[in-house]
Amino acid sequence: MRKLGFATTLFAALAFGSAAHAQSAEGLTKALHIYDNYRVVSNITYLTANNWDAKLDVYQARDAKAPNPTLIYFHGGGWTQGSKEAASLTFLPFLDMGWNVVNVEYRLAKVSLAPAAVQDALCALRWVYRNGKDYNVDTGRLVLMGNSAGGHLALTTGMIPASAALDSLCPGTEDLKVAAIINWYGITDVNELLAGPNVRNYAVTWLGGMANRDAIAKRVSPLTYVRAGLPPIISIQGDADPTVPYPQNVRLHQALDNAGVRNTFVTVPGGKHGGFTDAEMAKAYAEIRGFLDKQNIVRLTAN
């Protein structure tokens, strides 16, 4: 398997680093070399809703000889902003490991309010199930990942049961199981962000002025769906995060423990909302590597 070390450093320098981590010519050259190892199919429409085409990009490893482990990635931005294109460096470590990647866009608040983004993410997963064989995807080794609001969508996509009927825009009989979820500082309790000391404008914007917004917020909160039998979950968050309250992921970790769900919680001491140092990113990815090893999703090699 490909090694993780370079990708971790480049990830930190290009995606999450401060201005001091300049995009060096050497780093960009290596990144371009990694991308050269992939066939990229861009802007595939996986769902049309509200007269808006939801699209995704597929990065397929050129040298894969058998169905490949695949990351499904959701960008952040508080459900109100962001784009899949702007997030493409975020999943570079997985490209460096030879995985396939499916990079998903979804309806933002300006197109449609909650629960639209959650519905779209579930439909993206169903699309992968239905079309993955065309891209050498191993549906038995699907891993969901996202940052911030994308972390929330990774959680909801892997946790929401069919009985919640949030996949009504793309009904089907597939059992939408995933092998694991990687949650980077995602929201776990949307209701908490709508009022009171932890109110956040992005959450208020996403729910809008709906009369039943509290019920919808609960319906799209990962903490609502904690139960036995969920896929393994690893969460990473700084304990000084000003954007997503750190206790939300503490509560998720405790609830998963109580339900007997395999999970790991990585705290970045003093860490904010991303922007972690190279050393912090290296530690986080070492934890992710060990986590994936324990789940027997894929064996990775370290430097």
Angle at 159 between CA 155 and CA 162, to 5 degrees: 135
Confidence band for 2, pLDDT divided at 50, 70 and 90: very low
88 belongs to a structural domain: yes
Residue 203 falls within a domain, yes or no? Answer: yes
Taking 50 as the threshold, does the pLDDT of residue 225 lie above it? yes
Give how far the C-alpha of residue 177 lies from the chain's centroid of Cα atoms, to the nearest Å: 15
Rg (CA), the chain: 18
- For residue 271, what are its two tokens? 């860490």
Report the pLDDT value the prediction gives residue 26, as an integer from 0 to 100. Answer: 58
Rounded percentage of the chain residues whose pLDDT exceeds 90? 79
Q: Is there a contact between 141 and 102 (Cβ–Cβ < 8 Å)?
A: no
What's the order of all strands across the beta sheet hosting 180-184? 38-49, 52-61, 100-104, 68-74, 137-147, 180-184, 233-238, 263-268
Query: Within a domain: residue 75?
Result: yes
Q: Is residue 302 part of a domain?
A: no
Burial class (CB in 10 A: 0-12, 13-18, 19+), 229: exposed
Q: Dmax of the chain from CA atoms?
A: 54
Count of domains in the chain? Answer: 1
C-alpha span between 72 and 94 (Å, rounded): 11
pTM over 0.85: yes
Residues of the domain holding 266 = 5-294
Q: pLDDT tens digit string along 83-124? A: 999 988 899 899 988 899 999 999 999 999 999 999 999 999
pLDDT of residue 28: 58
Task: Place 20 in a pLDDT band, splitting at 50, 70 and 90.
Answer: very low
Evaluate whether residue 237 is within a structural domain: yes
Residue 162 maps to a domain: yes
What confidence tens digit (pLDDT) does each residue in 251-275 have? 999 999 999 999 999 999 999 999 9
Residue 270 placed within a domain:
yes
Which parts of the chain fold into alpha helices (H)?
5-11, 25-36, 92-96, 116-131, 149-159, 201-207, 213-219, 246-259, 278-294
One-letter amino acid identity for 141?
Answer: R
pLDDT score at 16: 37
Q: Is 190 a residue whose pLDDT tops 50?
A: yes
SS3 73: strand
pLDDT of residue 7 exceeding 60: no
Per the domain annotation, does 301 fall within a domain? no
Query: Which CATH number is 29's domain given?
Result: 3.40.50.1820
pLDDT at 32 over 50: yes
